[in-house]
Amino acid sequence: MKALAPPTQKIMLQRAHTVLEGGLSPIVRQIVNSALSKHTKETSPLSAALVRSLVLATKPEAYAAACQALASAVDPDYSKIEASTLVISGEEDYMSNKETTKFFQDKVKNVKVVEMRDVGHWHSVEQPIELRKVLEDFFL
């Protein structure tokens, strides 16, 4: 995880506040719209329904805590990582975008970056078979 830029930190803290005040219902539409690729939204209504269900089933306190943790995260010394490292991003992933993957390519010694086409932030929902292949290719 790369530390978030101040504007994104602010968004995460606002999201945490919203969820603590009103639950996940007020933000679920925004999450589905921003976190899924255009391709997934156009071709897989079941994927959108699954993300909606997963988000709504999350405890608001847990979701808010995750947002707060993301907002306050700092970067460790990535140059100390010796292990082979896999970074997976979606072509339309707003949290792990090209800038983020470039950051890891520059900071981590033995990194493999995979960008999945027609994928947003929910890799395992949008393209589970393709994701399994990426993981098998790296780990096996």
pLDDT in tens, 4-62: 888 989 999 999 999 999 999 999 999 999 999 999 999 999 999 999 999 999 999 99
pTM, two decimals, is 0.86
Question: 3-state SS of 47-114?
Answer: HHHHHHHHHHCCCHHHHHHHHHHHHHCCCCCHHHCCCCEEEEEECCCCCCCHHHHHHHHHHCCCEEEE
Neighbouring-strand partners of residue 88:
114
CA-based nearest residue to 133, from 71, 80, 82, 86: 86
Residue ranges covered by each domain of the chain? 6-72, 78-139
pLDDT in tens, 94-126: 888 888 899 999 999 999 999 999 999 999 999
How far is C-alpha 17 from the geometric centre of its chain's CA atoms? Answer: 20
How far is C-alpha 5 from the geometric centre of its chain's CA atoms? Answer: 15
DSSP helix/strand/coil, 122? coil
- What CATH number should be reported for the domain whose range is 78-139? 3.40.50.11320
CA-based nearest residue to 19, from 72, 70, 55: 55
Strand (E) or helix (H) holding 116: strand 111-116
Residues 134/114, Cβ–Cβ less than 8 Å: yes
